[in-house]
Structures are given as C-alpha cells and as structure tokens.
Amino acid sequence: MHLTHNTLPQEIRIQSVELLNLQLAAAIDLHAQMKQAHWNVRGPGFIAIHELFDRVSGEVEGFSDLIAERAGGLGGTASGTIQTAAKHSYLVPYPLGIADETKHLFAVAGALAAFGGSIREAIEKSTAIEDPTTADLFTEISRGVDQELWFVESHLTPKQVDPSKGH
C-alpha cells in the first residue's frame, strides 16, 4: 500500500483494494466482450445494435476507471492489465464465431447480468468491511449496469406472460 492521508484504517483499505481489483478484472473483460459483440454483430437491426454495443462498451470502460481510481485513492494499486483481467475475471468467456444479432444480444445480456450480480455482492462486502464509500461506488455502477442491461434486453422480443402462473 502507498502512503495516503485517507482516514480509513489500512486493514479496511487492503480488503477494499482486493475487492476493487476483482471487479476491475471483470470490468476489463466485460469491456472487451462488448467490443467483440460490437465488431461482429450482423442482422437486420445491425446499425442500432452495433451502435448500442459500442455505447455499452464505453459505459463499461467508465466503470473500469471508477473502480481503478478508487483503488488508487485508497493507497492501493489498480491491477488493470489484460493479463491480470484474463487471469482473475469471473465472467464466462464470450462465445467466438457468432454473428447473429440475437445470439450477441443474449451473450451481452448474460455478461452484463453476471457483472451486475457480482457488483451487488461487492456492495454487501464493502458495507460489511465498513467502507461505505466503496459501497456507494459499487451502487453507482450497479445502477449503470442495470440500465445498460435494460437497453440491451429491450432489443429482444419479450416472451408471452402466462397469467395462470403469476408471472
């Protein structure tokens, strides 16, 4: 840890930096997955989905910056290389060789949902270790991920709801 005037106890800062770096690895992976989808999507809705994936990738890149800068602000080191991300990301590898826009939409939605779920767990963990500022950062990211997921899923045809099953 680097010297800092941050008033959080060092043991909390160490735990927070570890948590931040885990999420940073996934955010870097997620950004690359969004670019993979952006570059390779094909179909009747190409331009809208191509531009959507590019916009989503930009948002995810912003999440990476927020996470990395918080780690640095706590006196830690942001571990943000591609090699580190590949080694530590918990995301399922993106399917290569697909072009169909629907398959990309499902893959992107799945990756966003997995990242969002882990970010919500990170909110709980950072709250438990008594770092409310990091919890707040993760809350901000969670809102952003949920919005991006909504935008992506809005390009999929909704399934009919069966009222007899209460869905």
Dump pLDDT digits (tens) for 94-143: 999 999 999 999 999 999 999 999 999 999 999 999 999 999 999 999 99
Task: Give the pLDDT band (50/70/90) at residue 167.
Answer: very low
Q: How far is CA 92 from CA 52, 78, 126, in A?
A: 21, 22, 24
C-alpha closest to that of 71 among 27, 29, 134, 122:
134
Q: CA 73 to CA 66: how far, in whole Å?
A: 10
Tell me, what's the pLDDT at 165?
A: 57
CA 130 from centroid of its chain's CA atoms: 23
For residue 164, pLDDT beyond 80? no
Which pLDDT score is estimated for 158? 76
Instruction: Report the mean per-residue pLDDT for the chain.
Output: 94
Of 7, 29, 17, the C-alpha closest to 134 is 17
Q: Does the structure show a pLDDT above 50 at 72?
A: yes
78 pLDDT higher than 90: yes
C-alpha to C-alpha distance for 28 and 33, rounded to whole angstroms: 9
Residue 60 pLDDT > 80, yes or no?
Answer: yes
Does 161 have pLDDT greater than 50?
no
What's the pLDDT score for residue 67? 98
**Residues 6 or more apart in contact with residue 12 via CB below 8 angstroms:** 129, 130, 131
Q: What is the pLDDT of residue 7?
A: 87
Give the percent of the chain with pLDDT over 70.
95
Average pLDDT estimate for 67-76? 98
When pLDDT is averaged across residues 136-157 and rounded to a whole number, the result is 96
| CATH top-level class of 10-156 | mainly alpha
